[in-house]
Amino acid sequence: MKKNKIIPTITKILVVILISLIAFIGIYVQKTNRMENVIKDYKYNMDLEGRRVLSLKVNDEKETIIKDAEGKKVEEELSDEEISQKGYTKEEIPNNKEEVLTLENYEKSKEIIEKRLKELKVNNYIIRLEEATGTIYLELPEDNNIDHTISNISEVGKFEIQDAETEEVLISNNQLKNADVLYNTDTTGTTVYLSIELNKEGKEKLNEISRTYVKTEVEKEENTPEEQKTEENATEDQKTEETETKTETVEKKISLKIDGSEMLSTSFEDPIENGTIQLSMGQSTSDKETLNDTIEKASTIATLLDKGNLPIKYKLDENKYVATDLTWDVLQKVAIVAGLILVIALIVLILKYKFKGLLASISFIGFIAVCTLIIRYTNVIVTLNSLVSMFIVVLLNYIFNVIILNTLKKEKSINNVIKQSFKEFFIKMIPVVIISIAFSFVSWIPISSFGMTMVWGLAIIALYNIIITRSFLK
């Protein structure tokens, strides 16, 4: 090799090594008390990762509520003796009234749960409705966020702004437009806010409420008896009344509730004209663990509100993990065998094509690394079918590299070599490309993942070999 080509070649090799290290090992940074890989993880299908099987049944139980003498709901927990002593009453109310248990509401509940799953970026799931009973059956991929996902889908998501005194509902889910999570960072740390945006009707209503539910000062006249004693009239029991004016602050409050739990009780200092309420979710903090917990809580509420409330209350009846039949030990053995085949194939390439074969082999390893990164960041769900598709892509790239190296024996210009190799290879690949694109649009994940992996793989074969392999062999 000419001396003036040594440094560029070594640089290219180092770049490929760097890409391979990032893809196969990752980039780790310090987060709280542990090291965390910032490279996005794969999204596995249930046939590889296992799955969580759930059943949501219509809640046929009755809820016991305590009311005071004025008929207001009492939030504190009391024994029967304490209820009797305070003159309170206990009522049992069904979680679901008979009139809401309709097929229309069952289907609407299923639709809202699907929207929540998509909002949480859970695309790989199975859901079905038992129309006779309203029971919803779910199969979700087992991952680190599974418990957070379950808590999102099973809650009702009922939003209400009430009169704090009379409990009259002033604004409900019907006036909701959007819910989102916002952040504000200052010198003390980061504060998480739940931002609730109302529609046109809700905006007008909130404007009216914010002008009504305020602190006001009221003047009151009080008569205060006071003993008056004089020399002329020193009757001991004689009293005169003196009128006194006092200023009293009256605060009319609203109560903001989500699923019956009070999130906020306040009055308004200024009118709200933009139709947006921002709720602070706890204190400002710089602790990452606390911040992540707060963000997760706010995100849960935002998801519940954003996609509508369930018309029916459900209870989680079944929640079990079903392991995959294909264990990781088996996959590791398959990976080892595949790795050995790859090493043998690259050795053959080096023995047959010498130094150019070595450069093509180094480039080939970089190709596999780039493929794994693309699969991660394009959200391709890894299934058994996609692993087969990936094996085919690697094999096709090997064949393409052999075509390039064979053409190099006849043609010295690398540009002409690439053109001839592309013509010979990709004309034959046209039927494969068409079938792969068609598979990508199939709703069944095992087929779509196969198609998407193949489409991305063929695209990388074209671009990678034009840019990287061509550069190595130039």
Rounded to 5°, the CA angle 442-445-451 comes to 60
Cβ 36 vs Cβ 305: under 8 Å: no
Amino acid letter, residue 133? T
Return the closest-CA partner of residue 209 out of 250, 168, 157.
168
List the structure tokens of 290: 């606390």
CA distance 326 to 136: 27
Angle 103-119/146-154 helices, nearest 10 degrees? 150
* Cα 353 versus chain centre, distance: 50
Query: Which run of H or of E encompasses 176?
Result: strand 176-186
CA distance 81 to 77: 12
Query: Which run of H or of E encompasses 463?
Result: helix 445-464
List the structure tokens of 463: 């671009």
CA distance 221 to 237: 24
Query: Which run of H or of E encompasses 401?
Result: helix 384-410
b/e sequence 391-424, b meaning 16+ C-beta within 10 Å: ebbbebbbebbbbbbebbeeeeebeebbebbbee
Residue 460 has a pLDDT of 95
CA distance 366 to 372: 10
Residue 218 has a pLDDT of 56
Cα separations in angstroms, 118 against 8, 113, 306, 417, 428: 47, 9, 12, 47, 38
Residue 89 has a pLDDT of 83
Please identify which residue in the block is written with the tokens 């790795």.
Answer: 339
Query: What 3-state DSSP class applies to 394?
Result: helix
Cβ 381 vs Cβ 445: under 8 Å: yes
Residue 134 has a pLDDT of 92
CA distance 45 to 382: 6
CA distance 191 to 182: 8
Mean pLDDT in each 10-residue stretch from start to end of the chain (474 residues)? 71 90 87 75 81 90 79 74 79 85 92 87 86 92 81 81 84 86 83 86 89 72 53 48 62 80 78 84 78 80 81 89 78 87 93 91 94 90 90 94 88 83 88 92 87 94 90 82
